[in-house]
Structure 1
């Protein structure tokens, strides 16, 4: 099965919700505000890809004032963001895949810049900057450098991942750089191995015996506002769409 950081985040958050979302493809409704923010984020990623490819971006900017604010924030931070000159390789929306434990780990780098000495992964976010602890523990921060180290000749210490956060209120862009190390790489390998072995067992029992993926304890706070609460017998009435948690925010496919 192809697995992204979003799959791994949700699998860790709630295996049963993973089953409903990805195996049964039931979908989870978003609030109108949340849906609009997701669409705005997708438009910004499209804009950045157009800009990186040297294609016209004026139609994007003329039609959307929010995109203009984000892009102006990017231009203001561009010297710091794009400080590497004449890289060996540079590509927007770079896709990489890695076969691991019988599954295909899939990553999409918003911008990948490679030189002889280092590899930089850059990622654009259009929501407020979270804490460094939350960000470093997300599967995106663990999976993206792991896959790059496994599919290239770069040592873990030569790899870094920098997030850039663009706000709708015109504030300056904020960044958070996460270095990588051999110790982190081995820890990620071990956690991935355990997680995917467990996932493979759940998936096999689900497909061959109809056994459902595990649920969170009934006392778990996550269940109180989950859109699958009725299906999981945790509620008797439909719930309004809720905001996605940090772990549930997906990368933006283009």
Structure 2
């Protein structure tokens, strides 16, 4: 059986294996609060808007119904007009899909926009929130790493010819971007890290399916439980647990790994 892996799965797995188990093995979900649901829907609507624009479909009816989407679109057109220019020497596609199979794992990426030039490739990703404070950490995000890796592995472009640009639409007074260059060293490191994760995932899945062994919990002292929807299920809803957490010093090399559903536009 082939297991589909996206950047979101890798991120959750590294954050907390037990959360990964609940989400992707046990298929447990909790409803979003109305505020978060509205933000997620607006983000999905913006991605759909940009996709339809790239396809040459009419977008005026969408813009007329949503002042917020209209504001974001106009801001992008004014801030980065060159991004929307086309010529005969480039190939571009919105919602572009790339896959790469390694053993029984199918790595999948859905790019918001890919622009291929004769001598370089540009990956564009829309984020419908402001530029984060710690933008230097973006190059360590699994979305960045996996998307760059897959494009290099499934094309003739060298790593040094590929760039990843995030656009943060809600930044003020205008949208802001962060561009990440790629190197052969980074490519090899990602390849190594993926190999380690796959080995762990295989081990965890075997234990889970054969003996129903649960995935290990992250240490409460790491501070990720307070924002996790499964905190109560894990008995991590008490603030005093971090001080007495028996897993504080667990070996990271023992962490497990898991299966997957396909990525959707909402993952953006």
| Both proteins in one fold, TM over 0.5 | yes
Q: Secondary structure at the match of 1:152?
A: coil
DSSP-derived class of the 2:41 partner: helix
2:145 pairs with one of 138, 142, 145: 142
Query: Residue 99 of structure 1: which of 98, 101, 110 is its match?
Result: 101
Q: How does 1:69-218 map to 2 (within 5 A)?
A: 69-82=71-84, 85-130=87-132, 131-167=134-170, 171-218=173-220
* Contact in 2 for aligned 1:157/1:179 (Cα 8 Å): yes
Contact 2:162/2:181, CA 8 A, preserved across alignment: yes
How far apart are 1:41 and its partner, in Å?
Answer: 0.5
Contact 1:15 1:214 in 2 (8 A): yes
The counterpart of 1:8, out of the listed 3, 7, 10, is: 10
Work out the CA distance in 1 between the residues paired with 2:223 and 2:203: 26
Corresponding residue of 2:27: 25
Tell me how far apart the structure 2 counterparts of residues 81 and 58 of structure 1 sit (CA, whole Å): 20
Query: What residue number does 1:252 align with?
Result: 265
Question: Is contact 1:101-1:193 (8 Å) kept?
Answer: no
Larger displacement relative to structure 2 (226-235 or 177-186): 226-235
Paired residues of 2:169 and 2:175 also in contact (CA < 8 A): yes
Q: Which deviates more, 158-167 or 28-37?
A: 28-37
**Number of matched residues?**
240
Instruction: Give CA deviations for 1:69-106 in whole Å, capped at 9, x if unaligned.
Output: 11011111232424663344211100111112421111
SS in 2 for 1:55: coil
CA contact (8 A) 1:29 1:227 kept: no
Counterpart in 1 of 2:246?
Answer: none
User: 4+ runs of 1 displaced by more than 4 Å?
Assistant: none
Q: How does 1:221-232 map to 2 (within 5 A)?
A: 221-232=223-234
Can you give the 5+ residue segments of structure 1 that lack an aligned partner in the other structure? Answer: 237-249
Structure 2: state its 5+ residue gaps.
239-262
TM-score, normalised to structure 1, is 0.89
Contact 1:21 1:28 in 2 (8 A): no
Alpha-carbon RMSD: 1.9
Aligned twin of 1:52: 54
Alpha-carbon separation, structure 2, partners of 1:219 and 1:124: 33
Distance in structure 1 (CA, Å) of the matches to 2:136 and 2:176 = 16
